[in-house]
């Protein structure tokens, strides 16, 4: 695995926000962290990027719409230690009804992110990628819509809550999830990766998954479950029982806090603070403890 | 003989329909019927005004593709399909302004497809 020196990690963390997360909850820097601890051999870290919306064009919202993703790729590549893997939690591309343009955008996106130094990349679809054609184009470029993978003792489950345009996981996928969970011990560290929130964050803005409660019910017997998702274009942390949910920032435009504005419209570009509200995060995982340290980074480091 | 039996049955059926209508139809509370049309990427009307405590019947239909109608503050959601009228009954029990939104992703303007229910006292 790639090793990262704790002191370097804390130095990197200094340019972003840092929180700690686990199946037992999450809190601000310093409140329950031993600090300076030695990494266990099964510790690792990954990077989450989300909502890149490649193909979006709106100068008032992001005058650098063609450059932001490339800057983020460069920022990830400049991390002193490269992550074990990278996840993209959906809305890789901005939606279009033109089948040809959809595929062009996906091809361009794929080309850009192929420049990442970390070569293990796990993709998820967002509704902009998959809702208009039930994920047909997405699967041509990025593979399955739902799948699992394991890394150093952590079981990752990728859920598709977007290829049905009604934001439904569906009975078939739910059964698949239940069958997969049956193979896990109840104290196994489990991370769920998905696009939409798996709880009714703000249904008035369609920030929900219609049958999320069935997913949460299936996950509830498992003690160490953490969810990382996108869709809402901002950092957000929430607990459903003992399950922590962490939303990531976008790499195209930020959105207002839930219900804080009359409409769900992008926050305009702030010329005095370019890329404000955009960014990516790294997640350092202590697998044995199902403990996750989240560090938020801006699009451009330093 | 067969003709007499048939006429008798028809008479009974007609009587039944009349009695059913008198018993249930006439006594049904008056409801405000509002036809709502959905198309990319707007509802028409975009603002619906109703009175608190008075029953409402929404007649939802779509002009182009499948849409959704979600009014979470009243626990209402429905699919809206072209060529089909989906009727949703409810009685608003609180006054105020409440957002409704399309919750079936329908394209590049989907996020803008919303409206407001105004419930007056």
> Among A112-126, A184-198, B28-42, which stretch is predicted with the lowest mean pLDDT?
B28-42
Looking at the DSSP bridge assignments, the partners of residue A224 are: A189
pLDDT digits (tens, 9 = 90+) for B104-117: 999 999 999 999 99
- Please state, in angstroms and rounded to a whole number, the distance separating the CA atoms of residues B58 and B78: 10
pLDDT digits (tens, 9 = 90+) for A39-56: 677 899 999 999 999 999
Candidate from B72, B104, B111 with C-beta closest to A166: B104
> Among A119-133, A141-155, A279-293, which stretch is predicted with the lowest mean pLDDT?
A279-293
Candidate from B99, B104, B112 with C-beta closest to A165: B104
What pLDDT does residue B30 have? 83
Q: Which residue of A has its CA nearest to B102?
A: A206
Contact A264 B106 (CB under 8 A): no
The pTM of the full predicted model, rounded to 2 decimals, is 0.86
What pLDDT does residue A13 have? 35
Question: Residue A145: is its pLDDT beyond 60?
Answer: yes
Average pLDDT over every residue of A8-32? 41
Calculated CA dihedral for residues A62, A68, A72, A78, nearest 10 degrees: -120
Contact B103 A166 (CB under 8 A): yes
B107 part of contact set with chain A, CB < 8 Å: yes
Residue B15: φ, ψ to 5°: -60, -40
Residue B10 banded pLDDT, cuts 50, 70, 90: low
Please tell me what DSSP assigns to residue B105: -
- Please state, in angstroms and rounded to a whole number, the distance separating the CA atoms of residues B119 and B121: 7
- Mean pLDDT, rounded, of chain B: 87
Calculated CA dihedral for residues A73, A75, A79, A84, nearest 10 degrees: -30
The residue ranking higher by pLDDT, B21 or B110, is B110
CA torsion through residues A215, A211, A124, A207, sign: negative
Question: Residue B14: is its pLDDT beyond 60?
Answer: no
Question: Residue A77: is its pLDDT beyond 80?
Answer: yes
Do A164 and A149 contact (CB within 8 A), yes or no? no
pLDDT digits (tens, 9 = 90+) for B44-58: 999 999 999 999 999
Question: Residue A22: is its pLDDT beyond 50?
Answer: no
The SS3 assignment for A286 reads strand
Candidate from A96, A165, A205 with C-beta closest to B108: A96
The residue ranking higher by pLDDT, A84 or A17, is A84
State how far Cα A81 lies from the chain centre: 20
List CB contacts (< 8 A) between A200 and chain B.
72
CA torsion through residues A290, A296, A300, A302, sign: negative
How many CB pairs below 8 A link A and B?
51
Sequence-distant (6+) residues with CB within 8 A of B112 are A263, A265, B41, B42
Contact B101 A263 (CB under 8 A): no
- Please state, in angstroms and rounded to a whole number, the distance separating the CA atoms of residues B78 and B86: 8
Distance from CA of A297 to the nearest CA of B (A): 27
């Amino acid at each position: 695995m790639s090793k990262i020196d704790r002191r370097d990690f804390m130095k990197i963390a200094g340019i972003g926000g840092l929180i700690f997360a686990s199946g037992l909850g999450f809190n601000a820097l310093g409140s329950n962290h031993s600090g300076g601890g030695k990494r266990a051999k099964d510790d690792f870290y990954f990077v989450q990027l989300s909502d890149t919306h490649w193909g979006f064009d709106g100068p008032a919202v992001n005058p650098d719409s063609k450059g932001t993703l490339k800057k983020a790729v460069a920022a990830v590549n400049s991390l002193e230690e490269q992550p074990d893997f990278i996840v993209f939690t959906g809305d890789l591309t901005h939606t279009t009804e033109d089948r040809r343009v959809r595929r062009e955008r996906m091809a361009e996106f794929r080309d850009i992110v192929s420049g990442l130094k970390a070569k293990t990349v796990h993709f998820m679809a967002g509704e902009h990628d998959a809702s208009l054609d039930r994920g047909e184009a997405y699967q041509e470029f990025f593979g399955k819509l739902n799948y699992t993978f394991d890394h150093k003792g952590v079981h990752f489950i990728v859920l598709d809550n977007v290829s049905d345009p009604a934001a439904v996981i569906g009975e078939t996928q739910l059964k698949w999830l239940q069958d997969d969970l049956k193979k896990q011990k109840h104290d196994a560290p489990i991370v769920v990766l998905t696009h939409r929130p798996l709880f009714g964050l703000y249904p008035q803005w369609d920030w929900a998954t219609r049958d999320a409660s069935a997913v949460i019910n299936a996950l509830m017997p498992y003690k160490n479950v953490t969810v990382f998702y996108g869709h809402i274009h901002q950092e957000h942390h929430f607990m459903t029982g003992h399950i922590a949910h962490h939303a990531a920032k976008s790499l195209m435009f930020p959105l207002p806090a839930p219900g804080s504005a009359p409409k769900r419209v992008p926050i305009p570009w702030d010329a005095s603070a370019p890329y404000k509200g955009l960014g990516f995060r790294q997640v350092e995982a202590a697998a044995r403890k199902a403990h996750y340290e989240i560090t938020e980074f801006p699009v451009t480091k330093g | 003989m067969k003709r007499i039996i048939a006429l008798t049955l028809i008479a009974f059926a007609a009587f039944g329909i009349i009695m059913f209508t008198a018993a249930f139809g006439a006594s049904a509370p008056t409801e405000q019927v509002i036809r709502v049309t959905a198309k990319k990427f707007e509802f028409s009307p975009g603002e619906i005004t109703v009175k608190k405590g008075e029953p409402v019947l929404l007649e939802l239909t779509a002009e182009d593709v499948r849409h959704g109608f979600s009014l979470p503050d009243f626990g209402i959601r429905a699919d809206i399909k072209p060529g089909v009228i989906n009727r949703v009954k409810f009685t608003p029990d609180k006054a105020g302004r409440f957002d409704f939104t399309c919750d079936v992703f329908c394209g590049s303007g989907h996020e803008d497809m919303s409206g407001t229910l105004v419930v007056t006292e």
